Amino acid sequence: MSEVHLLRVWPAILLMIVTLPCGAQSLRQEAQQSGVLIGTAVRPAQLSETLYATTLAREFNMVEPEDVMKWWVLRPDQGTYDFRQGDELIRFAQAHQMEVRGHCLIWGRNNPEWLTTGHFNPEQLARMLHDHIDRVMKHYAGQVFAWDVVNEAMDEKGNLRDSIWYNQPGIGMAGQGTGYIEQAFRWAHEADAHALLFYNEAEGEGMNRKSDAIYAMAKDFQDRHVPIDGVGLQLHISTLDTDAQKLAAELSKNIARLSALGLQVHVTELDVSVPVDAFGVSHPEDLARQAEIYRKIVRACLNNAGCTAIQMWGFTDKYSWIGSHSHGTHGQALLFDREYRPKMAYRAVLEELSAGRQAMH
């Protein structure tokens, strides 16, 4: 079935909208034949919007909650677990034969106020964290196939960040390096032995001090039989000045060394933001450069069997964190525009998935 998209005209600017060829498959169809999961972060509140839900179900075979499995949503107060929004996402995924990644069990940021201002001691925090991991993972056992157990625990130099779980006051392992991360993974494995357990991190996709620290931790865990199954590389690309070729080469090298440890690698939070004007409009040339970055990242994943999932941090520019985060200077970071029309970046990802499939045969 042919999908034809009209050119969209803004004052003095012509935006290029992709026209897909007759018979073109969806990202989901191509990914399935390539043996990789293609996913996106999701806000359940948008599932009632027809275009959002239909595009999501057509194009992706994996979803991850953007927020609704984080502490501040699941734990409105110390004594309550509120699974309603997460359960809504699970129901949608099951109805459309989609896998679900859980995100995230531990993060040093965006925790509920009752937790951060509660003046709990290490023993109390350890007990609460253990209970949280156990309750949440058992609630979603058999429904969530992989979890980001720990999210963004390291700074740009690969040192552990100060956090309520590590050393403020921590769960009793302050000064023991990655000990608190190890304990979280052990608790997670006890709660659901069938779930894949990931460490998820930003700015550790290339070859740098942070990625070296992630690798060292992962190798240490593997050597000592700590139950870790994979590493999530976020890949929020904030500038088009990025050397796409260099990024892809370093990403490939990093995926290869992590895979050599026997770990899976997931691209977990991919988006590529572009400069926009006061009306939210970008230049076609920038959208073309964006597409090339997407293309090379997807290719780097597909070229290594250890990279088993590619996930965007959202799929439509209508619902993206980039605009507010950049105070309106950047946007249009995702594969579909605000009207759910595929952009050049979509076509690039589709072509790479198709090429990856063809290379397998």
Residues taking part in catalysis: 152, 269
Establish whether the linkage from the previous residue to 169 is cis, with ω within 30° of 0: yes
Cα angle value 211/73/316 (rounded, 5°): 65
Which segments of the chain does DSSP mark as H helices, in order? 27-34, 50-59, 71-74, 84-95, 113-116, 122-139, 179-191, 209-223, 244-260, 284-302, 322-325, 344-359
Query: Which token pair is 71?
Result: 């502490």
Q: What is the dihedral of CA 148, 152, 158, 161, to 10 degrees?
A: -130
Contacts of 326 (CB under 8 A, 6+ apart): 238, 273
DSSP string covering 128-145: HHHHHHHHHHHHTTTT--
User: What is the tally of helices (H) and strands (E) in the chain?
Assistant: 12, 13
State the DSSP code for 6. P
- Within 8 A by CB and 6+ apart from 21, the residues are 2
Compute the distance between CA of residue 35 and CA of residue 95 in angstroms, rounded to an integer. 21
What does the block give as tokens for 282?
Answer: 């970008």
- What's the Cα-to-Cα distance from 170 to each of 72, 134, 163, rounded to whole Å? 18, 18, 7
β-pairing, 13-15 vs 8-10, is antiparallel
Query: What's the one-letter identity of residue 358?
Result: Q
Tell me the sheet residues that pair with 21: none
Please, which residues have CB within 8 angstroms of residue 208's CB and are 6 or more apart in sequence?
Answer: none
Q: Are 221 and 186 in contact (CB under 8 A)?
A: no
In DSSP notation, 156-182 reads TTSPBPP-TTTTSS-SS-TTSTTHHHH
